[in-house]
Amino acid sequence: MTVRRTSCNLCEAICGVLVTVEDGRVTDIRGDESDPLSRGHICPKAVALRDLQEDPDRLTTPVRRTPDGWQEIGWDAAYELVVGKLTGIQREHGRNAVGVYLGNPNVHSLGALTHLPTMVRQLRTRNRFSATSIDQLPHMLASYLLYGHQLMVAIPDIDRTSYLLMLGANPLASNGSMMTAPGFGKRLKELRKRGGKLVVVDPRRTETAAVSDEHHFVRPGTDAAFLLAVIHEVITQGFARPAAYVDGFEAVEAAVEAWTPERAAGVTGIPADVIRRIAQEFGAAERAACYGRVGVSTQQFGAICQWAIQVLNIITGNLDRPGGTMFPRPAVNPLLGLGRGHVGVWKSRVRGLPEFGGELPVSTMAEEILTPGEGQIRAMVTVAGNPVLSTPDGRRLDEALGSLDFMVAVDPYINETTRHADVILPPAPPLERDHYDIVFHQLAVRNTARWNDAVLPKPASARHDWEIFRDLGLALVRRTPWSRRRVETTVRLRLSPRRIVDAGLRIGPYRLSVGKLRRSPGGIDLGPLQPALPGALHKKSKRIDLAQRMILDDLPRLDALTTVAVDELLLIGRRHLRNNNSWMHNSARLVKGKPRHQLLMHPHDLADRDLADGQLVTVTSAAGSIAVEVASSNDIMPGVVSLPHGFGHNRPGTQLTIANRVDGSSANDITDAAFIDPTAGTAAVNGVPVTVTAGQSSPE
Ligand SMILES: Nc1nc2c(c(=O)[nH]1)N[C@H]1C(S)=C(S)[C@@H](COP(=O)(O)OP(=O)(O)OC[C@H]3O[C@@H](n4cnc5c(=O)[nH]c(N)nc54)[C@H](O)[C@@H]3O)O[C@H]1N2
Ligand SMILES: Nc1nc2c(c(=O)[nH]1)N[C@H]1C(S)=C(S)[C@@H](COP(=O)(O)OP(=O)(O)OC[C@H]3O[C@@H](n4cnc5c(=O)[nH]c(N)nc54)[C@H](O)[C@@H]3O)O[C@H]1N2
Ligand code: SF4
Ligand SMILES: [Mo]
């Protein structure tokens, strides 16, 4: 029996874990008390790392779809087939005929971060998509505009703050996002002990709201009005004290002038006196931080929200000070490997939506596949993504993927998306991988560093994700005459993730190395976040300009926000601690217990429609209808209904033994690809207008 250390990489909390291995099998997984960041915290999903390892549904060799079903093939034959098809299609129809979609688990895998971008670059297509545009794109846009780099994200310093204003986030279920803060519940208790306060703004009384000091219902999609009114009041009450390196304050003053608390109250549902008081408390607090996540990103005004949150922190002097919002200084700097970002350098072919950082909005992916003409996508590469369940109008995308000339998926499962692939290349599972977290140390509430060797050996026949990207990348370099920088690319692809991390650590601010980190497998503490501005700004001027044209020009769109129609219902999403987006429903350990797929609805809204708790209802939006059970809840704001995404595994042809028995419909069958934040291009999956009626109408 041996106990090995690693970190769980299923979510952004990157908890340190101790894994007990007996005779080559995992027998126990628990929290690592010695980890300076997670301090022993884990959630139920950590234990499912073992299920991923042992899941009989998990592919271990490449498979190819044939008229007689899936057939195993060797790695070399698979690469040959994939690269031959992709380059053939590009030769015939142009480079943009190959589309790429990169899903969420890529940011949780070291090998994907070190090798995937280089491989994708070899395809030289403009049709690149990822989960970013249904997630944190507005954060990246605000960071790019204000701080000069898309990944220079200001993190709430929750371990030292005295006032945390949180919008559209539920870290008690999600374990935190764009804020790596494992054990958020414990950190919150500590905040309380210091005499601090947590205020939550959310259309649902969430698990986090339940343990907050104050919770306010907000009408979905109207937070921008609330934020502008808080800024208005902060200024009126004399709390504005922007740092000397901040420009554009007058433009902000002008922009918020019309957003009185009374006007905002009318559209948000948050009373004017509450808005005034929150502004007063935020302005007067010794150390305050405003933080907003998925609920204020994946909505119609996501870009304005994330800009306004920054503005509030900046003008109250809370940016870059302990207890406010701060910039981490990780041991490997991921900003070096990633460009600063750019916006609108090209537009999508069909709808003319702007790229951001080289990616087009995922809401436009299905139409780029289905609309004929020059530049139409005819082949797709998906990597660690399940867009059929996770992106808007999933049914249309399902149809689109079915119409492709060729598709390859790098994924361990045959699921709702990958069932359309001609070839699936499955990478080795997390416990067989070395891990250093390149992304989430950049978003963490404390500077720490941790390298872990793989817990279990990889079978000789298996491939790491980075080996798959290396081999595909090298084959592309060989086969594509247009490939640039061939030598540099070849060298880069041949380096192992360990070598790349080692180099990053050595040139990093703490002059570490993989060798040094391996001597402390529980991780090392590099201390609390430190002030870094204006020097750390990725702007030549070393100044922050609040008056961003893109955002200011967007503000008049808020004028459309008025008091809502009486019988209108707005759909929002939710997460549960034991789910992980669309893909961990194959763990018996996680899916057992009470069902969690229901549509939550307020008892008054049920009564108004003569509906009963538990009844099957039809939910209809502009995009379509689904059938789902309704659950009565006093924790949801009247006029709002909540449905989690990632369910709906009942599509034919998937091979997910346990997941196929999980009830529930896909929320993204009724989210609308036309409903986006036109400024950032983010999918608006929150605040979708729907009707709810009795009974079931067939989805066909
Ligand atoms: N309505 C609604 N929709 C949403 C959201 C919402 O709140 N509401 N949230 C959005 C957000 S924030 C996100 S991030 C997206 C997620 O969207 P996606 O990233 O598209 O979907 P996931 O469900 O994370 O699917 C992960 C896929 O990766 C595979 N996988 C798992 N581990 C690995 C691995 O190690 N390597 C490889 N190669 N593959 C692996 C799984 O089998 C699965 O196919 O969903 C978005 N969709
Ligand atoms: N257990 C679990 N953990 C996860 C995931 C998971 O699927 N399961 N997914 C991971 C991923 S990919 C991400 S991105 C993070 C997300 O992390 P969070 O953002 O913390 O997660 P959510 O639970 O989606 O929280 C969004 C909240 O926004 C609220 N909301 C919806 N619309 C609005 C609105 O218009 N205004 C306001 N103010 N609030 C609104 C919802 O009610 C919900 O409580 O979680 C990560 N962690
Ligand atoms: S909170 Fe849970 S899923 Fe997230 S890293 Fe920690 S143990 Fe893993
Ligand atoms: Mo996400």
What secondary structure does DSSP assign to 239-275, as a single string?
Answer: -----TTEE-HHHHHHHHTT--HHHHHHHH---HHHH
CB 360 within 8 A of CB 127: yes
What CATH number is attached to the domain comprising 658?
A: 2.40.40.20
Q: What is the mean pLDDT of residues 529-533?
A: 98
Question: Across the strands, what pairs with 382?
Answer: 101, 409
Q: Residue 136 corresponds to which tokens in the numbers above?
A: 């944190």
pLDDT in tens, 564-600: 666 689 999 999 999 999 999 999 999 999 999 999 9
225, with CB counted inside 10 A (0-12, 13-18, 19+), is buried
What CATH number is attached to the domain comprising 232?
A: 3.40.228.10
Would you give the DSSP letter of residue 135?
Answer: T
Neighbours of 618 (CB within 10 A): 18
- Interval between CA 373 and ligand 1 midpoint (Å): 30
Tell me, what amino acid is at 409? Answer: A
Quote the CA–CA distance of 290 and 317 in Å, as a whole number.
12
Residues 164 and 85 grouped into a single domain: no
Please check whether residue 17 lies inside any domain of the structure. Answer: no
CA-wise closest residue to 387 among 368, 373, 371: 368
What is 68-88 written as a DSSP string? TEEEE--HHHHHHHHHHHHHH
Residue 580: CB within 6 Å of ligand 3?
A: no
CB 677 within 8 A of CB 299: yes
Please check whether residue 350 lies inside any domain of the structure. Answer: yes
pLDDT for residue 461 is more than 50:
yes
Closest-approaching ligand to the CA atom of 182: 3
Contacts of 508 (CB under 8 A, 6+ apart): 330, 331, 332, 333
Please check whether residue 250 lies inside any domain of the structure. Answer: yes
Q: What is the pLDDT of residue 565?
A: 60
Taken as a whole, the chain contains a residue count of: 700
pLDDT for residue 339 is more than 60:
yes
Using pLDDT thresholds of 50, 70 and 90, give the confidence band for residue 235: very high
CB 414 within 8 A of CB 59: yes
- In whole angstroms, how far apart are CA 318 and each of 68, 191, 244, 303, 641? 62, 17, 13, 20, 35
Q: What is the pLDDT of residue 482?
A: 63
pLDDT in tens, 129-147: 999 999 999 999 999 999 9
Count, in order, helices (H) and strands (E) of the chain.
23, 30
Residues 520 and 620 grouped into a single domain: no
Quote the CA–CA distance of 285 and 279 in Å, as a whole number.
10
More confident residue, 189 or 560: 189
Residues 295 and 341 grouped into a single domain: no
Cα atoms in the Cβ-side hemisphere of radius 13 Å centred on 488: 6
Determine phi and psi for 329, rounding to 5 degrees: -130, 80
- Interval between CA 175 and ligand 2 midpoint (Å): 10
In the chain, how many domains are there? 3
> Average pLDDT of the chain?
96
Residue 362: CB within 6 Å of ligand 1?
A: no
Residues 496 and 610 grouped into a single domain: no
Residues 188 and 315 grouped into a single domain: yes
- Interval between CA 261 and ligand 2 midpoint (Å): 26
- In whole angstroms, how far apart are CA 569 and each of 79, 200, 351, 607? 49, 22, 28, 14
Using pLDDT thresholds of 50, 70 and 90, give the confidence band for residue 480: confident
Residues 424 and 475 grouped into a single domain: yes
Please check whether residue 530 lies inside any domain of the structure. Answer: no
Among 335-349, 452-466, 555-569, the range scoring the smallest mean pLDDT is 555-569
What CATH number is attached to the domain comprising 460?
A: 3.40.50.740
Closest-approaching ligand to the CA atom of 227: 2
Question: Across the strands, what pairs with 5?
Answer: 18
Please check whether residue 12 lies inside any domain of the structure. Answer: no
pLDDT for residue 700 is more than 50:
no
**Alpha-carbon torsion 332, 338, 339, 344, what sign?**
negative
Quote the CA–CA distance of 427 and 111 in Å, as a whole number.
10
Residue 596: CB within 6 Å of ligand 1?
A: no
Residues 356 and 499 grouped into a single domain: yes
Residues 79 and 212 grouped into a single domain: no
Closest-approaching ligand to the CA atom of 169: 2
Closest-approaching ligand to the CA atom of 134: 1
pLDDT for residue 616 is more than 80:
yes
Determine phi and psi for 234, rounding to 5 degrees: -55, -40
Q: Residue 150 corresponds to which tokens in the numbers above?
A: 């898309």
Q: What is the pLDDT of residue 696?
A: 63
Please check whether residue 143 lies inside any domain of the structure. Answer: no
Residue nearest to atom 2 of ligand 3 (CA): 43
Quote the CA–CA distance of 670 and 685 in Å, as a whole number.
9
- Interval between CA 570 and ligand 4 midpoint (Å): 21
Residue nearest to atom 4 of ligand 3 (CA): 11
Residue 415: CB within 6 Å of ligand 1?
A: yes
Residue 413: CB within 6 Å of ligand 1?
A: yes
CB 496 within 8 A of CB 465: no
Q: Residue 674 corresponds to which tokens in the numbers above?
A: 């036309």
Q: What is the mean pLDDT of residues 412-435?
A: 98
Work out the widest C-alpha separation in the chain, in whole angstroms.
73
Quote the CA–CA distance of 544 and 538 in Å, as a whole number.
10
Q: What is the pLDDT of residue 95?
A: 95
Q: What is the mean pLDDT of residues 294-311?
A: 98
pLDDT for residue 29 is more than 50:
yes
Using pLDDT thresholds of 50, 70 and 90, give the confidence band for residue 699: very low
Residues 617 and 498 grouped into a single domain: no
Contacts of 649 (CB under 8 A, 6+ apart): 389, 415, 416, 585, 656, 659, 660, 662, 664
Quote the CA–CA distance of 172 and 183 in Å, as a whole number.
9
**Alpha-carbon torsion 472, 477, 478, 482, what sign?**
positive
Residues 171 and 127 grouped into a single domain: no
Tell me, what amino acid is at 620? Answer: T
Please check whether residue 636 lies inside any domain of the structure. Answer: yes
Please check whether residue 267 lies inside any domain of the structure. Answer: yes
Residues 447 and 306 grouped into a single domain: no
Q: What is the mean pLDDT of residues 671-690?
A: 97
Range of the domain at 195: 154-326+546-552
CA-wise closest residue to 531 among 185, 154, 237: 154
Residues 512 and 576 grouped into a single domain: no
- Say if pTM beats, i.e. exceeds, 0.85: yes
H-state helical runs in 525-611: 549-552, 588-591, 603-608
CA-wise closest residue to 676 among 365, 388, 369, 372: 365
- Interval between CA 523 and ligand 3 midpoint (Å): 16
Residue 131: CB within 6 Å of ligand 1?
A: yes
The single residue listed with the structure tokens 């390859």 is 408
